[in-house]
A = this chain, B = another copy of it.
Amino acid sequence: MGRASKGRATSPDTPCIILVRPQLGENIGMAARAMLNCGLSRLRLVAPRDGWPNDKAQRAASGADIVLEETVVFDSVAEAVADLEHVVGTSARNRELSQRIVTARHAAREMHDWIDRGVGVGILFGPERTGLTNDDMVHADTALSIPLNPQFSSLNIAQAVLLVAYEWAMATAETPAERMSDYAIRPATKDEMQNLFDHLERALDQSGFLRNKAAKPAMVQNLRAFLQRATMTEQEVRTFHGVIKYLGKGKHSEE
């Protein structure tokens, strides 16, 4: 009997990952690593083939020791889910059960909703090769299926854990879809940009590049549009002033 069956052993604010009859220690370790990357740390094992603890799991966890130290082992799926209120079963194939099937992305949103309401949530992953049996799946309220290449669907267990845990993390992630790197000091002001355009235009005038008076306005506009589109930083504007100055000098020395 696992420790958790004596009461909730860990914080209920994230889902438990429950590996059912896992075979290879490496996969348990890789799953732990994938979990911690995604902010999950509650790992439960049902009847791991090679017992527990497992040296190979330790090595493959690459530093996700906290997950392995708090891992709880159970004899059966029934015991592993006993203290949970909502259970999701991952399944690659259709089975002879009439069950609701959701994508990993949809499951992540639902699990967040459950947990926000104080419900204990667990996600079952089956053993390598065979996956969860129907007897395992009847413990699940919902089936989770990751819809990938129908011609080649061979995620290993740690990869499946990674994708499900990743969707969990993304469902609350506040990272903007697009941003500039922190190093990007500050964008140049429009005044600084105008000075740069003026400098460039003068230099090109002097170099003879803008000799064709008719073509000049369009050419200047195109250059401005291009430099504007790059959203330059003030550092880059300064660098570019130097480039113009240096190239102008080079031109003179060649003459």
Contacts and interface: CB of A to CB of B under 8 A. Distances in A.
Interface of A: 33-34, 36-39, 62-64, 94-103, 105-106, 143, 145, 147-149, 152-156, 159, 162-163, 166, 169-170, 173, 175-185, 233, 235-236
A63 to B, nearest CB: 6
A155 B35 CA distance: 10
Contact of A181 (B99, B149, B170): B99
Contacts of A98: 180-181, 183-185, 233, 235-236
The majority secondary structure among interface residues of chain A is: loop
A147 B173 contact: yes
A45 B88 CA distance: 38
A113 to B, nearest CB: 13
B170 A105 contact: yes
Contact of A152 (B63, B155, B180): B63
Given A39-B149, A100-B179, A103-B175, 18 more contacts: A33-B154, A37-B149, A37-B154, A37-B159, A39-B148, A62-B154, A64-B152, A64-B154, A95-B183, A97-B181, A98-B233, A98-B235, A103-B176, A103-B178, A143-B181, A147-B173, A159-B159, A166-B166
